[in-house]
Amino acid sequence: MAKRGVIVRRLPAVEGLGSCTLIASDKTGTLTCNELTVREICLPNGETFEVTGEGFTPTGEVCFQGQAAAKAASLDPIARASVLCNEGELRHRDQQWIWRGDPTDIALLAVAHKLGWHQATTLNSHPQINDIPFEPEHQFAATYHLVDEQVRVFVKGAPERVLQMCDRPSEDPSPWDLAQQMAEQGYRVLALAEGVAPANLTAAMVPPEPDDLTLLGFMGMIDPLRPGVKSAIAACHTAGIAVWMVTGDHPATALAIARDLGLAHTPKQVLTGQALEGQSSQAIQQIIQTTRVFARIAPHQKLQLVNAARAAGHFVAVTGDGVNDAPALKAANIGIAMGKTGTDVAREAAELVLSDDNFASIVAGIEEGRIAYANIRKVIYLLVSTGAAEIILLGLAILTGLPLPLLPVQLLWLNLVTNGIQDVALAFEPGQGDGLRRRPRSPREPIFNRLMIERTLLGAMVMGGVGFSTFAGLLNNGQDLATARNALLLLMVLFENVHIGNCRSETRSVFQISPFSSPILLAGTLTAFLIHMAMMYWPMGNVLLSIQPVPLPTWGLLIALSLTVLITLEIHKLSRALIFKRRKQQRG
């Protein structure tokens, strides 16, 4: 799993991945690349400017109706606010651009640089006095600066929150409509504003919440989707796993991105944190049945959603990267923290860590988790069925008064060498490509379920019954005890070599699975068999195991008998498939 970007902090999470029915994922950095670029600037009068360039480096230009507009005076206020209300750092050193801080801040610095507003120069001429850091609950950040001997406040944040602080005379177009139009194009929209602050404000004072501001405009940013995320979400749907997008973005922005991902298609599938506020647990359980996108969600609401999903019967995996995400990560069945951008608190609260912060790695982890769980079942089935066969063999001999069919050293040989090599090799099965085509298993389903009990009893009765009949038949035909035991031991070895094919899938025929698809298992099976052959023809092995070479006709008989367990379980698989198909047709 580590090779596929999933670091396991708590081992039971590997088993839990196979039961996952819902993934509640952050958008930024998990579904998207978290490499924001300003693509559009919209001023309050409706003028729209296009921004060229990619990434965080300030290359490109700002255009109005196709013409460069870098020196447009109307853009100076919003460019200045982008630099001043900013906690990031963007500078040029050693012939390359270096940045530090939140991607949103870096994107603002980059577009301001394109407009001629350099960070160092601007900060020197506008010294900062105080600030209000960004908090998800407040949805805005503010900084206070000395501008021309006057204290002014510069604000950035969610459009609906910043517009509440602005003095809004009757305008056409409406600022809210402008922000909505940008969000519907899939942009992450940020509003910027400025105003006058108390003249006596100092660094030691708690700054008042800004009000009576002047809106400067909106920044429309793009955050490209991570490669492979759309196909990963489709794979989740095929695997019976629902996916939620939980984001702090504008609902229109979230819906536009969800449409690109194939996650949601109509506004009815989007719910805002404001609509969620005050809802009862039962009401939330009803709401989440049809909702796929949760926008403008606060951290405490994320915890509410997780608890509601678990109460509704989901086995929930949740992603998170911040300190505020820790309660939701702890409340989920499986908490998944980000390895690159996640905080130490988030990683400590999580069971899994994504080393590449990529949603597709979660899906890869689910597939690996299902493969690991399936391999555990295969190994248990192999060991229990062959062990039960030996019990049946010995029990029948005791009940009929015959000598022990196998010596203790021969039983040890079967269990420690033949089975011992095969079960280790079986644990490394790579999977058969159907890991994400199966429905999630119930977390209450035991490993040893009804199907495994059926197959174990059937395989054990065939191997134990045929083995005993062979042993008794040889004795009745005048063979001595040593010869009968020798043939029986070889038969049991052959049974285990054939039965390993039955263990590879609970539903698929052994003839549908290439023996070369699992080189480790093929090598392990051949190695175990060749070791037994060597012991048969090595004089010291004859003495240690009380065995000897078997005549060619006996070889043919024993190989034919060993195929009975394969034929029996193939018939069992076929009959179950036919019954399942008939029931499906009746329901259809």
68, 89 contact by CB (below 8 A): no
**What is the rounded distance in angstroms from the CA atom of residue 102 to the CA atom of residue 85?**
13
Q: Residues with catalytic annotation?
A: 26
In our burial notation (b when 16+ CB lie closer than 10 A, e otherwise), range 118-153 reads bbeebeeebeebbbbebebeebbbbbbbebeeebbb
In one-letter notation, the amino acid at residue 50 is E
578, 570 contact by CB (below 8 A): no
Neighbours of 48 (CB within 10 A): 16
Q: Which of 104, 88, 87, 84 is nearest to 195 (CA)?
A: 84
**What is the rounded distance in angstroms from the CA atom of residue 300 to the CA atom of residue 5?**
28
Q: Which of 5, 2, 1 is nearest to 356 (CA)?
A: 5
Listed as own residue / partner, the contacts of 65-70 with beta carbons closer than 8 Å and 24 or more positions apart are: 70/114, 70/115, 70/116
**What is the rounded distance in angstroms from the CA atom of residue 292 to the CA atom of residue 271?**
8
DSSP states of 237-293 as a string? HHTT-EEEEE-SS-HHHHHHHHHHHTS--SGGGEEEHHHHTT--HHHHHHHTTT--E
407, 454 contact by CB (below 8 A): no
- The 3-class secondary structure across 142-167, one letter per residue, is EEEEEECCEEEEEEEECHHHHHHHEC
**What is the rounded distance in angstroms from the CA atom of residue 114 to the CA atom of residue 71?**
10
Three-class DSSP category at 187: coil
In our burial notation (b when 16+ CB lie closer than 10 A, e otherwise), range 482-521 reads ebbbbbbbbbbbbbbbbbbbbbbbbeeebeeeeeeebeeb
Residue with tokens 């602050």: 197
134: enclosing H helix or E strand: strand 128-135
State how far the alpha carbon of 450 is from the alpha carbons of 29, 265, 382, 447, 506, in Å: 43, 40, 16, 9, 12
Structure tokens at 138: 């407040």
Q: Which of 488, 492, 511, 493 is nearest to 501 (CA)?
A: 511
Neighbours of 572 (CB within 10 A): 16
> How many degrees, rounded to 5, is the angle at CA 166 between CA 164 and CA 171?
105
CA 307 to chain centroid: 19
Q: Which of 294, 311, 257 is nearest to 25 (CA)?
A: 294
